[in-house]
Amino acid sequence: MTAFKVGDQVTIHNSQTGPEKAAVVEAFTEGNRCMVLSDGSKWRADGQRQWRVGSGYYKGPVVERTRPGDLDIVTRRRAIGVIRKFAQDLNMDSPLDAAALKRIVDRIQEEQAAAPKDDGAA
């Protein structure tokens, strides 16, 4: 018997960085021993390790039920990755014109101004 069922919202957690990816349980195979997620990954039905990892010792990500706050962390992590990739590839030969870049900068400044201020108190 598995703790998960088809349609469950789950989060793939890394022991060091927390929630990494959100998915939905799509199916069970291998006599309900293998769980298939919406991202195409396969996990043991208990979510403790990926299906057919090949090693007897496994210290990798695990699948858990999505908890409050998990989706915010995953969304933030993905957005930061996209922004970093965009900025890393940005140079004078980039296809965006000055007006588009100015709109991006304006929006960043608006969001920074609206963000809660860190007063330095710990």
Domain that holds residue 13: 9-65
Within a domain: residue 3?
no
Quick: pLDDT tens for 4-61. Answer: 999 999 999 988 889 999 999 999 999 999 999 999 999 999 998 887 766 666 678 9
Same domain, 31 and 59: yes
pTM of the model: 0.74
Quick: pLDDT tens for 53-104. Answer: 666 666 789 999 999 999 999 999 999 999 999 999 999 998 999 999 999 9
Within a domain: residue 21?
yes
Within a domain: residue 82?
yes
In degrees rounded to 5, what are phi and psi of residue 65? -60, 145
Same domain, 60 and 13: yes
Within a domain: residue 119?
no
Within a domain: residue 87?
yes
Q: What is the DSSP string of 71-119?
A: HHHHHHHHHHHHHHHHHHH-STTSS--HHHHHHHHHHHHHHHHHSPP--
